[in-house]
Amino acid sequence: MLWYIAKLVVLLPLIGLLAWGSLRLAKRLEGRLAQPEGTAGLRIIETRMLSPTVRLAVIAFHDREILVSASKHGLVRLAEAPARERADDAR
């Protein structure tokens, strides 16, 4: 019984630490593992978290920039404008 409690005291925090570290690593690598930009007509330009369940995103699609709100209930288009020229596109 004492051996079981000793293993529990050692392994439970270790498992918790591994889960926390995995989540932090996934969050850090989220933007880096996206598909490389090519000639596709769709690009995510920028995202911002408004709350834990709501995110704003600017999406470039066929020379237009579309502002959308993403939540667990779906996507909502908030605004649309002509695409601005990006600094790396001008080179």
pLDDT in tens, 15-52: 999 999 999 998 888 767 665 655 567 888 899 999 99
Would the pLDDT of 89 be above 80? no
Strand order, beta sheet including 74-82: 42-51, 54-61, 64-71, 74-82
At position 8, the amino acid (one-letter code) is L
The pLDDT value recorded for residue 28 is 85
3-state SS string over 48-61?
EEEECCEEEEEEEE
